[in-house]
Amino acid sequence: MIFQESGLIAANESVGDRFYRMALFAPRTASKVKPGQFIHLKCSDTADPLLRRPFSVYDWDEKKKMITILYAVVGRGTEMMSKMKSGEKVNLMAPLGTSFSIDVNFNEALVIGGGCGIGPLLGLVKQLVKKGIETTTLLGMKTGQTSILIDDFLLAGATVKVATNDGSIGIKGHVTEFLENTEKKEKPDFVYACGPNPMLVSVQKWARKQHIPGEISIEEKMGCGTGACLSCACRIQSQDNEDGWDYKRVCVEGPVFSLEEVIFDE
Amino acid sequence: MIFQESGLIAANESVGDRFYRMALFAPRTASKVKPGQFIHLKCSDTADPLLRRPFSVYDWDEKKKMITILYAVVGRGTEMMSKMKSGEKVNLMAPLGTSFSIDVNFNEALVIGGGCGIGPLLGLVKQLVKKGIETTTLLGMKTGQTSILIDDFLLAGATVKVATNDGSIGIKGHVTEFLENTEKKEKPDFVYACGPNPMLVSVQKWARKQHIPGEISIEEKMGCGTGACLSCACRIQSQDNEDGWDYKRVCVEGPVFSLEEVIFDE
Amino acid sequence: MNNPDLRVSIGEIHMKNPVMTASGTYGYGEAYSDLYDVNFLGAMVVKGITPEPRKGNPPPRIAETPAGILNAIGLQNPGVEKFILDEVPRLMKLQVPVIVNMSANTIEGYQRLARRLDEVEGLSGLEVNISCPNVKQGGQAFGTDPKTAHEVVSKVRKETKRPIIAKLTPNVTNIASIAVSVEDAGADAVSLINTLLGMAIDIKSKRPLLGNVVGGLSGPAVKPVAVRMVWETAQVVNIPVIGMGGITSWQDAVEFMIAGASAVAIGTGNFTNPVAAVDIIDGICAYMKENNMEKTTDLVGKVSIETIE
Amino acid sequence: MNNPDLRVSIGEIHMKNPVMTASGTYGYGEAYSDLYDVNFLGAMVVKGITPEPRKGNPPPRIAETPAGILNAIGLQNPGVEKFILDEVPRLMKLQVPVIVNMSANTIEGYQRLARRLDEVEGLSGLEVNISCPNVKQGGQAFGTDPKTAHEVVSKVRKETKRPIIAKLTPNVTNIASIAVSVEDAGADAVSLINTLLGMAIDIKSKRPLLGNVVGGLSGPAVKPVAVRMVWETAQVVNIPVIGMGGITSWQDAVEFMIAGASAVAIGTGNFTNPVAAVDIIDGICAYMKENNMEKTTDLVGKVSIETIE
Ligand SMILES: Cc1cc2nc3c(=O)[nH]c(=O)nc-3n(C[C@H](O)[C@H](O)[C@H](O)COP(=O)(O)OP(=O)(O)OC[C@H]3O[C@@H](n4cnc5c(N)ncnc54)[C@H](O)[C@@H]3O)c2cc1C
Ligand SMILES: Cc1cc2nc3c(=O)[nH]c(=O)nc-3n(C[C@H](O)[C@H](O)[C@H](O)COP(=O)(O)OP(=O)(O)OC[C@H]3O[C@@H](n4cnc5c(N)ncnc54)[C@H](O)[C@@H]3O)c2cc1C
Ligand SMILES: Cc1cc2nc3c(=O)[nH]c(=O)nc-3n(C[C@H](O)[C@H](O)[C@H](O)COP(=O)(O)O)c2cc1C
Ligand SMILES: Cc1cc2nc3c(=O)[nH]c(=O)nc-3n(C[C@H](O)[C@H](O)[C@H](O)COP(=O)(O)O)c2cc1C
Ligand code: FES
Ligand code: FES
């Protein structure tokens, strides 16, 4: 059940680098959202920029009726968002898309996030930890400036490993380097990932080789966010089709897909 | 000499009804502007709304390096302006257009303003009073809610008469009713006016009948504000032309024209 | 005063109000059903159907431009048979006229679609999208030439008794002449405008922002062009004109109706405000009431033009 | 690395950089001269001149639309003789190529203008605006038909040795075919786009927002259409394409150049940022430097299109 909600901004703070965390009082969304789902946010009142912007829900608290998004300033919409003040309202549509599977019975989960891809992961990790699943989180960031995010995951009860491009925190390099060094005995039962496509490609290759199932959240440019316009097509394996794939909608059949089925253009 | 200036908003306060007074720290404009001239203000950073908005300079103070505009919220641009906060900056072009003649030698001036047309008049009145000219100001307003503007003119040293549509202050009706009741002996030497076209038409007719010279400031939709686009055409008497009139630019040949030469479409 | 009578008929399509959805922006009617009762709509136009399934274009399929969007979906759809099987049963249950937007690469394709859809119960009309490239005649759209436009519509006319709406492309020198031509061919109405052909390039990668290189411009940016075309067209045809292009508010909708549109369609506007259609129906109603208009004909085409000088 | 070489030649018009002003948005070059030294420009195109003086259209002449403006100035100008008398002496003194935009209602009018302007010293080129209504043939613009476009340009060609730029209207089905036609007729360059025909109506008064009822749409809203047309045209002609339509930033200008424009013109953008032209020259220079481009030909037409699938 999709709805519109007017979210009241409770906080909108820089968390280092180009990243911001926006906390919104949004009771309906907070009570309905599932990990991996996203909201479609209207960041301007004028026709320019025109479209809403999709953001994964980073965290939520049903009791406090709050949701949080973690976003990077990469263009005009996010620039405008970064200037919004607490007390202002923003219109959003929620809860949108598919969610990560958490009704699972396994022991060890590996959660991998890179850059903006950290966006949908905190809520997921909290749920996994709550279920008693041992959760290792690999975070890839540009710099250590965003170290406050590491705290978010540590507080959630996850084991956290960090890779930064500049080596200022954790190992220097890509987060996927942790995978290459993963010993047999460390093999998780299930992997969740979100991040730039090259990262997801590496995760997919590694998981295939290791025969580990998993889920990933992917991004595509969006129009409606509700399945009406077919803008957000991505290539997904499909038996229905002779050539083995079909375009699916990131906003309805995704953003969370099973790790195996996504076809990346390389 | 036209220039661009980044004006720092020092105050932006509602003065009743739909009216706001915005004070800007704008040293160059404050030192160059003449009564009746206007600024062309950028009220948004996005392409929607696209165009700048023209506003007469209501008042200025060369020493304090401040200018003030008086504006009514009538559409999207002015709506956006009304939400600006002190400390923000707005880009403006100034000083634009012609100004009221004040190097004059006469004794009594009549200054008539209706609604937004009060915009260019305070600075004018101050200058006239400074020159020792006896200045009567007729202000037409919708309601008495904007009575603070009356104080502006009283403080400037003018005699003020007020007409409001609802009769809440002064006489009930149009400001032009003062003219119809003007006795021979009260006849001013010169009249200045700004306001809605029907008001200006009445002023023009009355002044013609009474053989009183004068100047008016008129409005037209603008593009460039600097004479480049010919958007702001208004009909002005002209000897150059067989049929006795020509389109002139409100932004360069105006906004202040001599009272007689403006041709209104009735 | 009573509430105004908002009813409008487009041929035999009887609508309770003049607000429809624009093809391709409303899926098959399911995408917005959580947000409001779609039976409020005057009519629903569903995503373009083709004779065979189409995968559509490679992503990115959408790019934002100043006050507009470019799209190049590429008519992704399951094909007419799967549409009839999977979507029609649900659509039939609605209390709102459903209009099927149809496209083909050949005239025979249009005929085949019309024939097939004519057999299907529960559909109220066909919108013939003649903005698609005419593969046989070298890629120009059917709708860019009055003669081919005439041919498509008259051939479709022979295959169906359902009302036909011809959807016109704005990428032409003279849209009114195309409208006259399809009227003559038997169209019950014309709808305009489809998207303006546009392009955007990423200056970093030097690549087009759309996978398909070019795409269709829609949204507020195109509104003045659409209003002009509706006005030009409404003056020369005797069939209803359905106006669209950049409508996001009831004020926009009223503007189109004053220009001559008997009904309006909301496209890109659904994306920014998912309940736009409902808001617009309410707004038109309030406007008519305030202006003492009893029926939509008091509004349609009432632009007041004085010739000055 | 050294500064890139920004020079561009359009026929015999030698420009120090690819940035020009668009006709009708820059007066006769005096309006912006307080704000910067106009000699910084690549070239200056002045307001459209006609054989006889024209008063222009009744106001309102401009209306704001989403990310755009509609204008209907109606070619107000003092006529060619008064232009030569009053404006040319000042223009002659500039160190920047001055291009005169010219319009007429008849082919003879264009010929007469070209002949007269050919005699005048200090002008660098003629921009032939074929977007004006062809009075003799019933009001369609000269530029909407390849044949009449050809006729205008070839007749003008006979009257002048100066470089001719044909200014094309976007209100056509196939702008590239018009471009090919005027190239054949002897044009040294084409400039595009002129404005898209549009309309806006005030829903309170039910009257058009423009005194002239319809007007021309320009500004950011039209940019995707303009980029597409420049791209289409640049692929089929061998003469330089001057791109315009919605350029407000150096990024926009670079986008047009990547699409195939050898030079760009700034129109509506001057209104929002009066020093836009200078900012854009600087921005193009910095972009080229950053991307190791030595001359503008490293940039022009370099859109990278891979055919996927
Ligand atoms: C399902 C989903 C969930 C997302 N969750 C998050 C999140 O939690 N945190 C976060 O920071 N970002 C997230 N994104 C990406 C975010 O939507 C874009 O960064 C944002 O829309 C950019 O807006 P802008 O106006 O600032 O940028 P624009 O000026 O529009 O573009 C700037 C850059 O952002 C890219 N971009 C624009 N729109 C999208 C989009 N829909 N998807 C991906 N990239 C885009 C453009 O290609 C361009 O490179 C998510 C995207 C999707 C589809
Ligand atoms: C030389 C000049 C001086 C002016 N001085 C003042 C002033 O001191 N105080 C003040 O309140 N207003 C003044 N105006 C009018 C002011 O520019 C408009 O009210 C303003 O541009 C409206 O912007 P908007 O976006 O709010 O309205 P829009 O949404 O653009 O339009 C709302 C209404 O305002 C009218 N309008 C829009 N632009 C103009 C314009 N350029 N001139 C006249 N009407 C317009 C429209 O016709 C419409 O009815 C002046 C106008 C001119 C030309
Ligand atoms: C994403 C998208 C998909 C579209 N698909 C179709 C289509 O399948 N058939 C069609 O006739 N028009 C299609 N259109 C055009 C719209 O129906 C409409 O004519 C156009 O977008 C202008 O209206 P708007 O500005 O309100 O969107 C599509 C438009 C968009 C934005
Ligand atoms: C106010 C105005 C007046 C114009 N006058 C002319 C003209 O006289 N001759 C001409 O060829 N084009 C004229 N144009 C069109 C512009 O030169 C340009 O082609 C068009 O505006 C698109 O560019 P832009 O979006 O950067 O403004 C005019 C445009 C505007 C906005
Ligand atoms: S964004 Fe419209 S279908 Fe996904
Ligand atoms: S506003 Fe452009 S000439 Fe006056």
D window 208-227, beta carbon within 8 A of A: 220
Starting from the CA of residue C61, give the closest ligand.
Answer: 3
Q: Which residues from chain B sit within 8 angstroms of residue A48, using beta carbons?
A: 46-48
Note if the pTM is more than 0.95.
Answer: yes
Residue D39: phi and psi, rounded to 5, are: -70, -10
Q: What is the pLDDT of residue C135?
A: 66
Kindly tell me the burial class for residue B238, based on how many C-beta atoms sit within 10 Å of its own C-beta (0-12, 13-18, 19 or more).
Answer: middle
Look up residue A240 and give its DSSP letter. Answer: S
pLDDT digits (tens, 9 = 90+) for A36-45: 999 999 999 9
Provide the residue-wise pLDDT of chain C in tens; the chain has 309 residues. 678 999 999 999 999 999 999 999 999 999 999 999 999 999 999 999 999 999 999 999 999 999 999 999 999 999 999 999 999 999 999 999 999 999 999 999 999 999 999 999 999 999 999 987 766 766 678 999 999 999 999 999 999 999 999 999 999 999 999 999 999 999 999 999 999 999 999 999 999 999 999 999 999 999 999 999 999 999 999 999 999 999 999 999 999 999 999 999 999 999 999 999 999 999 999 999 999 999 999 999 999 997 654
pLDDT tens digits for B215-231? 999 999 999 999 999 99
pLDDT at A266: 65
Q: What 3-state DSSP class applies to A15?
A: coil
Residue D198, chain C, CB below 8 Å: the answer is yes
CB D181 within 8 A of CB C213: no
For residue D173, tell me if it sits in a domain. yes
Contact partners for chain B, using 3 or more CB pairs closer than 8 A, are: A, C, D
Q: Are strands A108-114 and A89-96 parallel, antiparallel or unpaired?
A: unpaired
CATH number at residue D30: 3.20.20.70
**What's the confidence (pLDDT) of residue D135?**
66
- pLDDT for B101-138, tens place per residue? 998 889 999 999 999 999 999 999 999 999 999 999 99
Please report the pLDDT score of residue D139 as a whole number. Answer: 65
pLDDT at D159 over 50: yes
- pLDDT digit string (tens) for D263-295? 999 999 999 999 999 999 999 999 999 999 999
Confidence class for position B242, pLDDT limits 50, 70, 90: confident
How would DSSP label each residue in chain B?
A: --EEEEEEEEEEEE-STTEEEEEEE-HHHHHH--TT-EEEE---SSSSS-S-EEEE--EEETTTTEEEEEEE--SHHHHHHHT--TT-EEEEEEEES-----S---SEEEEEEEGGGGTTHHHHHHHHHHTT-EEEEEEEESSGGGTHHHHHHHHTT-EEEEEETT-SSSEES-TTHHHHT--GGG--SEEEEES-HHHHHHHHHHHHHHT--EEEE-----SSSSSSS-TTEEEEE-SSSTTSEEEEETTTT-SEEETTTB----
The active-site residue out of D70, D132, D217, D226 is D132
- Rounded mean pLDDT, D144-164: 96
Contact D125, D163 (CB under 8 A): yes
Worst-scoring range by mean pLDDT, A180-194, B48-62, B193-207? A180-194
Phi and psi (nearest 5°) for B113?
A: -130, 135
Q: Which domain holds residue C228?
A: 8-55+75-197+217-298
CA of B8 to the centre of ligand 2 (A): 21
Q: Cβ(C208) to ligand 3 under 6 A? A: no
Cα separation values, D133 from B188, D75, D106, D138, D139, Å: 52, 12, 9, 8, 5
CA-to-CA distance for C71 and C62, rounded, in angstroms?
4
Mutate to test the interface with B, among D28, D46, D61 (most CBs of B within 10 A): D61
What is the CB neighbour count within 10 angstroms for residue D19? 28
Q: What are phi and psi of D126, to 5 degrees?
A: -120, 130
Q: Which of A50, A52, A247 sits opposite C76 (nearest CB)?
A: A247
Q: What is the mean pLDDT of residues D55-72?
A: 97
Chain D residues inside the 8 Å CB shell of C302: 206
Buried b (16+ CB within 10 A) or exposed e, C82-113: ebbeebbeebeebebbbbbbbbbbebebbbbb
pLDDT for position B181 = 74
* DSSP track, chain D: -PPPB--EEETTEEESSSEEEPTTSSTTS-TTTTTS-GGGSSBEEEEEE-SS-B--PPSP-EEEETTEEEE-----B--HHHHHHHTHHHHHTSSS-EEEEE--SSHHHHHHHHHHHHT-TT--EEEEETTSB-TTTTSSBGGGSHHHHHHHHHHHHHH--S-EEEEPPS-SS-HHHHHHHHHHTT-SEEEE--PEEEE-B-TTT--BSSTTSEEEEESGGGHHHHHHHHHHHHTT-SS-EEE-SS--SHHHHHHHHHHT-SEEEESTHHHH-TTHHHHHHHHHHHHHHHTT--BGGGTTT--------
The pLDDT of B62-73, averaged and rounded, is: 97
User: Would you say the CB of residue B232 lies under 6 angstroms from ligand 6?
Assistant: yes
Considering only residues B187 and A79, tell me which one the structure prediction assigns the higher pLDDT. A79
Closest CA to D13 of D262, D309, D294: D262
- Cα separation, C62 vs C67, whole angstroms: 14
d(CA D21, CA D42): 9
CB D71, CB D64: distance < 8 Å: no
Tell me the nearest-neighbour CA distance from A47 into chain D, angstroms.
7
Domain A3-96 has CATH 2.40.30.10: yes
Q: Is residue C282 part of a domain?
A: yes
Query: In the prediction, which pLDDT does C306 show?
Result: 78
Query: 3-state class of A24 per DSSP?
Result: strand
CB contact under 8 A, C67 and D70: no
> Among D73, D146, D151, which residue's Cα sits nearest to residue D106?
D151
Instruction: Tell me how close the Cα of D200 comes to any Cα of chain C, in angstroms.
Output: 6
Share of chain D above pLDDT 70, in %: 97
- Please state which architecture CATH assigns to domain A101-203: 3-Layer(aba) Sandwich (3.40)
The pair of structure tokens assigned to D226 is: 């303009």
> How many angstroms does the Cα of residue B58 sit away from the middle of ligand 2?
15
- The CATH code for residues A218-266 is 2.10.240
In a domain, D145, yes or no: yes
Q: What is the pLDDT of residues D27-46, one digit of tens each?
A: 999 999 999 999 999 999 99
Average pLDDT in chain D: 95
CA-based nearest residue to B33, from B8, B51, B58, B64: B58
Among D49, D218, D241, residue to substitute to test ligand 4 (most atoms within 8 Å of Cβ): D218
Query: Where in chain B do CATH 2.10.240 domains reside?
Result: 218-266
The nearest alpha carbon in chain C to A219 belongs to C60
Give the span between the Cα atoms of C241 and C187, in whole angstroms: 11
For residue C230, give the nearest of D218, D197, D169 by alpha carbon: D197
Are B46 and B52 within 8 A, CB to CB? no
ipTM of the complex: 0.97
Quick check: bond before C164 cis, omega within 30? no
Which residues on chain A are in Cβ contact (under 8 Å) with C59?
220-221, 232-234
- DSSP assignment of chain C: -PPPB--EEETTEEESSSEEEPTTSSTTS-TTTTTS-GGGSSBEEEEEE-SS-B--PPSP-EEEETTEEEE-----B--HHHHHHHTHHHHHTSSS-EEEEE--SSHHHHHHHHHHHHT-TT--EEEEETTSB-TTTTS-BGGGSHHHHHHHHHHHHHH--S-EEEEPPS-SS-HHHHHHHHHHTT-SEEEE--PEEEE-B-TTT--BSSTTSEEEEESGGGHHHHHHHHHHHHTT-SS-EEE-SS--SHHHHHHHHHHT-SEEEESTHHHH-TTHHHHHHHHHHHHHHHTT--BGGGTTT--------
Question: Given an 8 Å threshold on Cβ–Cβ distance, is A47 in contact with D66?
Answer: yes
Alpha carbon A60 to chain centroid, angstroms: 13
Whether residue B91 has its Cβ less than 6 Å from ligand 6: no
Distance from residue D250's CA to the centre of ligand 3 (Å): 31
- What span, in angstroms and rounded, lies between the C-alpha atoms of D305 and A20? 35
Among A1, A231, D44, CA closest to C32: A1
Taking each helix axis as running N to C, give the angle between helix C146-159 and helix C107-118, from 0 to 180 degrees, rounded to the nearest 10. 30
C224 close contact with D: CB closer than 8 A: yes
Q: How far apart are CA C80 and CA C145, in angstroms?
A: 26
Report whether pLDDT(D309) > 50. no
Per the domain annotation, does D245 fall within a domain? Answer: yes
Q: What is the pLDDT of residues D195-247, one digit of tens each?
A: 999 999 999 999 999 999 999 999 999 999 999 999 999 999 999 999 999 99
Q: Whose CA is nearest to atom 1 of ligand 4?
A: B229
The answer to whether the CB of A111 falls within 8 A of the CB of A135 is yes
pLDDT in tens, A102-143: 988 899 999 999 999 999 999 999 999 999 999 999 999 999
Question: In chain C, how many domains are there?
Answer: 1
Sequence-ordered list of residues with C-beta below 8 angstroms from that of B107, at least 6 positions apart, any chain: B133, B134, B189
Enumerate the active-site residues of C: 132
Domain assignment of residue D155, yes or no: yes
Orientation angle between helical segments B148-155 and B121-130, nearest 10 degrees:
20
DSSP letter, residue A262: B
| Predicted local confidence at residue C309, as pLDDT | 45
